Structure 1
Amino acid sequence: MGDTTPAPDEEPRPAQEGPELSATSLAALDLARAELDLAERFVVIVGDTEDAVDLAPALAEVWPTAHLRLMTKNQPPRERRPDDLRLTPVASVPDIFNALAAGPAPDVIIELGGDRGYAGHGAFGATFLSLRDGGAYLKVDLAGEVAAASADDADDSLWQWLGRSLGDQHQPPRLTGELDKQGLVRTLGEAISGVTIRDGSAVVHKRGEHLMKVNNLLHRPDGEHRVEQTVVRRCGEGSASTIAGEPAHEFEVTSPVWVNDAEAGVRLRDRYLVRELAAREYLGAVCAPRGVVTMGGLFLPESSMQPLVRPWFNRGTQDAGPDYAVFPRVSGPVPTLPGSYYHLDNEFPGHYGHVTTQDLSRLWAWDAAVERDPDVRVLLSPPTGHQEPHDYQLRLLEAFGIERDRVTVLREPARVERLVSATLGLQNHYFASPVCTPVWERIRDALVPEAEGSTPERVFVGRNETRRRCLNGDEVERRFVEAGFTVVHPETLDIAEQIRVFSGARAVAGYAGSSMFTMAYATGDTHWIVIGSRSYTATTEHLLATLHRQPIDYFFADPEVEQPAGGFAPEAYFSDYTFNFERDGADLDALLARL
């Protein structure tokens, strides 16, 4: 744990006479004096209001240069409020997490306990990784934690976490697998550098730096503003600012939608909330390939392809549980990219479906970024295993008006002098904003004249994939060919020809997935028919068709692996499936006859 003895000129002074401390506060003070040096440190006190208000002045007397912050459930009486201490009301563990994010990373967290459902219950697991490298977590009354550890509702106690993370031989026998998900237990084990237990209390020392995921803020009515506010409070005035935005609004589906399975069709909503969109400029953001955007130890929502989903993770980082991640390893100093950059990256760089629906759906604020800085450049990372973007990506950007020499390829982490990052205009399962339409239209209108040949009126989009296969696809495609459809495989076509085919056809059918996403460029009254597994829960085709006010018919087929009731399984999501002709053949034939 290292030597924590104060330097001679920082010798802690005895606390002056004042209000008599409670047993809890006195224990915290004694343990801090014995094990820690709080001089010049950022110290957060979490817990019972009375205890915290008593402890803060005592700590300030011993370490007058410590930066103290109190987080309590209730405001103390006015006469008890410390004049020179920052006090943040917090009603829950998520409130504590958000308050920690909106301030300097703490060097020390002192948990005084109190109401277990508020501070003791879950506080350690939710906040320990917010500490700086070399920080410490001080917990008073470990005996109370041990006693509670065998209770049915005590899975988040400090004692349980230490047992899970370190394999303590004294761990209580009852463990649940739920909290092991996404690497939190593993990460805690790696991050704990030492534990001192003294007089019934504990100090847990931390090593390593961890990113705090702040996408939970988006679930609040003013979520985009809260993200900006949180960054500013942590990184300083001017570190984040909004340069463009779109207000939230309700979108009502007015085009016809038909489904063969009413239960599966529930996911295709007839109205949805288009969330507020914001384009923010960050000063000094640190980015990494696969869409990673961070500021001051905060893992920003722009890093996620589904920022409204909790918990989320990004494949460009090591996940560390629902609220934390570990930045990619770097050797040596992180280089700086001078100038302004527009972030146009995702977790699957170069993947056609993600480029079309995610990267391009961020371009709604490009013109505002150019107005702010005419020399702004695009920042994106290359596809896995490549050093450069795919040619079709650069052609899409050129069609939009961004020349190739304006694209910077991010191959390693870098600090960006000025980064503009815009909210995704399309978020699968949630919404598609009308701001995306002009982006796709601009690209379509520039590329279609380049395409050669005629466009079939009826198109069936084939799928050459090794997963999510339609096991009786030959029979499905035969039915469509007999009805006058031409089978095409988009991946064999030039990008301009792909867009021409989708924008010129009167009816387009195909298997659910990215092969169908060129429908983003559609125009006119195209009728869409989607065939896909009932376990494939994505709704992108529905969002695109209804955004364009075009009719769409869904045939949900029978998967080899069903989604668990009330849950989600990747093996079900990617499951092969079979079109049920006995159940749905007559409806399909009737639809084809009407077109």
Structure 2
Amino acid sequence: MATPPTVAIGQVLNGLRLPSGAQVAVADRIGSDEREDIVTAFGAVVLDIWRSPGELAVDLAARGPFDAVVDLTPAGNAVERLRVALAHLRPGGHAVLRVPVTGPARADLLALVEQVRSLAASGRVAPPTFGRERGRADEERDLHALAAGTALRVKGRFLVATQSADVRAPVPERRLDELLTKAPERGRTLHTVPAVTWEARGRFASSLPGDDRRHSYAAPQLALRELHAVLCLPHQIAVQGHVVLPASFRNVVRPRPRSRWLVEWSRHSVLAPEAASDPTPLAGPHYYADNVNRGHFGHAVTEQLSMLWGWDHALAEHPDLRLLVTSPSGAPLAEWELELLEAAGVDRARVTVATGPTLGETLMTGTPGYAIGSYVHPELRRLYDRVVTSLADRAPAGPRPRRLFLTRAHDTRACHNAEEVEELFRAHGFEVTRPEQHSLPKQLALVRAADVVAGFAGSGLFPVGLLREPATVIVVGSDTYPMLNERQLCAFAGHDLRLVRCRADIHTEHYSLESFHSPFTFDPQREGRFLAHVLDGLTA
């Protein structure tokens, strides 16, 4: 490819026709003529050129959004830096990068330009949408997002990317404290708990050959933060300025945290979420404990409860603190939700239920102490003890069986021969009950008193993970339901876990909700032999 003619950066920027008072960021060598020209002409924000893409994203988040980001660094990761810059532009803003002279970085950047142009010209652009897009690789989604929302052109030694999409930049959990240090007007970090890696406790066995458990879990640092001027939308979305806060995501340690209520535009951006109405101002401090699946028992016991480890710290800082959750349907919280919050130390009189957008004056957020399939932080032990004691001690008097089988209504993951399974457990001395037919205090009292807790896989079994005293737990479910919570909670509590994996009706090559929720059949001759061995081995 022939060497393009030299075009000065000043000519490029002048050709962009930036508005008066445009917000411009520039990264270039100290003392370079180009950098000084841009600073003089636009009063540009100067960035450290040696920052990694992740660090550059924090710098831009602290001072953005921008009308133009000019990145003239000699870095080799030009494609990634381009994506970072685009995440911090206003609609109609421009990212300007110096095209590397030689090497793989130049080839990668120019190849991307050609791919985007070719896709845009083909008329087959399919930009990302809400929800899961199974079978579609991230690289394909990102390419289509670029083609749909960005015009790329090479002008001499520079690539100019003009973005039409209105995007917001998610800030990774591990970077938020750094952002608050750089932009203290956004808020502050009040308290942290160190990251911990812990070893799984209790014994494990499964009827499915090759089915093993994780032997260790790495929990991240937990941080309690005080943030200002946060827009909260239904379905667990929290936005501050042009950045999306980690509190918007259920699993904050994923490389690309996702929410089905946000359209992921790239690794570094999402489409700006739309508010159905103007936000209602929230005066005073609020503790954010919303969940995208709020009202679902399993997600409340695992994810939502785990946000409350910092409640007492926040309450000491703000005695007038309230708790904030959302209810898009407008329905009030169920009694069991209020009981769970009260057991965690939150008086129900302090609970604010928002049905639409709110703008929080002061919002307290705590890093989730639990993420499904990823980690449980040991800091939750004290919270779990508090919840179990508070609830179980309030339970009405009554018999407490030593062997308990928790059945379910089978609206999803139905066992075709559930009655056969229940009778098998009854024959071995188990009392069969449906947990949702009991109050939350009684559910906790029942599982706390039992030596052996068994049941069909699902949220009805999750309370056993809150217990401190090890027990034996037997879970019956399909071979397409991974039982991540059951494994994780039992490993944390130290329970002996036995998984009875049955053949599901629906199997798919890749993950699908159909296979995840598939009905199944318990086979007495296959997994039944494993279960018989487990039951016969129980001590009297």
TM-score above 0.5, yes or no:
yes
Counterpart check, 1:57 vs 2:36: yes
> Which range is displaced more, 555-564 or 580-589?
555-564
Give the CA deviation at 1:375: 0.8
3-state SS of paired residue (1:581): coil
Q: Tell me which residue corresponds to 1:89.
A: 50
3-state SS of paired residue (1:264): coil
Counterpart check, 1:259 vs 2:206: yes
> Which range is displaced more, 574-583 or 451-460?
574-583
**How far apart, in 2, do the equivalents of 1:27 and 1:562 lie?**
59
**How far apart, in 1, do the equivalents of 2:21 and 2:457 lie?**
57
3-state SS of paired residue (2:60): helix
| 1:467-478 matched pairs, under 5 angstroms | 467-478=412-423
**How far apart, in 2, do the equivalents of 1:530 and 1:461 lie?**
10
**How far apart, in 2, do the equivalents of 1:538 and 1:24 lie?**
60
Give the CA deviation at 1:397: 1.9
> Which range is displaced more, 328-337 or 458-467?
328-337
> Which range is displaced more, 480-489 or 99-108?
99-108
Q: Tell me which residue corresponds to 2:137.
A: 178
Give the CA deviation at 1:166: 6.5
3-state SS of paired residue (1:503): helix
**How far apart, in 2, do the equivalents of 1:546 and 1:198 lie?**
58
CA offset digits 1:480-538 (Å, max 9, x no partner): 12212222222222222222222222211112221211213435343111123333234
> Which range is displaced more, 128-137 or 97-106?
97-106
Contact 1:24 1:140 survives alignment (8 Å): no
Structure 1 unaligned spans of 5+: 1-21, 70-85, 171-175
Give the CA deviation at 1:101: 3.0
Equivalent position amino acid for 1:55 in 2? E
Equivalent position amino acid for 1:40 in 2? G
Q: Tell me which residue corresponds to 2:163.
A: 206
Equivalent position amino acid for 2:459 in 1? S
Change over 3 Å in CA distance of 1:333–1:584 after alignment to 2: closer
Give the CA deviation at 1:321: 3.5
**How far apart, in 1, do the equivalents of 2:162 and 2:176 lie?**
29
**How far apart, in 1, do the equivalents of 2:406 and 2:185 lie?**
49
Contact 2:295 2:334 survives alignment (8 Å): yes
Q: Tell me which residue corresponds to 1:106.
A: 66
**How far apart, in 2, do the equivalents of 1:97 and 1:25 lie?**
29
Give the CA deviation at 1:196: 7.1
Contact 1:504 1:523 survives alignment (8 Å): no
Q: Tell me which residue corresponds to 1:31.
A: 12
**How far apart, in 1, do the equivalents of 2:475 and 2:279 lie?**
46
**How far apart, in 2, do the equivalents of 1:377 and 1:435 lie?**
22
> Which range is displaced more, 252-261 or 93-102?
93-102
Change over 3 Å in CA distance of 1:142–1:33 after alignment to 2: farther
**How far apart, in 1, do the equivalents of 2:324 and 2:111 lie?**
41
> Which range is displaced more, 268-277 or 204-213?
204-213
Change over 3 Å in CA distance of 1:348–1:553 after alignment to 2: same
Equivalent position amino acid for 1:249 in 2? V
| 1:275-314 matched pairs, under 5 angstroms | 275-314=220-259
**How far apart, in 1, do the equivalents of 2:517 and 2:466 lie?**
26
Change over 3 Å in CA distance of 1:164–1:442 after alignment to 2: same
The structure whose RCO (Cα within 8 Å, separation 6+) is larger is: 2
Give the CA deviation at 1:227: 1.4
Counterpart check, 1:398 vs 2:398: no
Q: Tell me which residue corresponds to 2:478.
A: 533
**How far apart, in 2, do the equivalents of 1:510 and 1:165 lie?**
53
CA offset digits 1:73-128 (Å, max 9, x no partner): xxxxxxxxxxxxx433135x55544443343222113355967x511x34444532
- The match for 2:214 among 258, 262, 269 is 269
Contact 1:142 1:159 survives alignment (8 Å): no
Equivalent position amino acid for 2:114 in 1? W
Contact 2:277 2:357 survives alignment (8 Å): no
Change over 3 Å in CA distance of 1:166–1:406 after alignment to 2: farther
**How far apart, in 2, do the equivalents of 1:487 and 1:301 lie?**
41
3-state SS of paired residue (2:77): helix
Q: Tell me which residue corresponds to 2:131.
A: none
- The match for 1:443 among 387, 405, 414 is 387
TM-score by length of 2: 0.86
Change over 3 Å in CA distance of 1:177–1:459 after alignment to 2: closer
**How far apart, in 2, do the equivalents of 1:502 and 1:388 lie?**
28
Give the CA deviation at 1:39: 5.3
- The match for 2:114 among 135, 143, 159 is 159
Contact 2:196 2:378 survives alignment (8 Å): no
Change over 3 Å in CA distance of 1:426–1:371 after alignment to 2: same
Contact 1:361 1:436 survives alignment (8 Å): yes
Give the CA deviation at 1:373: 0.9
Q: Tell me which residue corresponds to 1:230.
A: 179
- The match for 1:592 among 497, 522, 535 is 535
Q: Tell me which residue corresponds to 1:409.
A: 353
For the aligned residues, what is the CA RMSD? 3.5
Q: Tell me which residue corresponds to 1:461.
A: 406
Change over 3 Å in CA distance of 1:163–1:102 after alignment to 2: farther
Change over 3 Å in CA distance of 1:530–1:475 after alignment to 2: same
Give the CA deviation at 1:416: 0.9
Change over 3 Å in CA distance of 1:106–1:100 after alignment to 2: same
Counterpart check, 1:364 vs 2:309: yes
Change over 3 Å in CA distance of 1:255–1:399 after alignment to 2: same
CA offset digits 1:457-498 (Å, max 9, x no partner): 222121223432334433322321221222222222222222
| 1:506-525 matched pairs, under 5 angstroms | 506-522=451-467, 524-525=469-470
TM-score by length of 1: 0.78
> Which range is displaced more, 129-138 or 414-423?
129-138
Contact 2:280 2:358 survives alignment (8 Å): yes
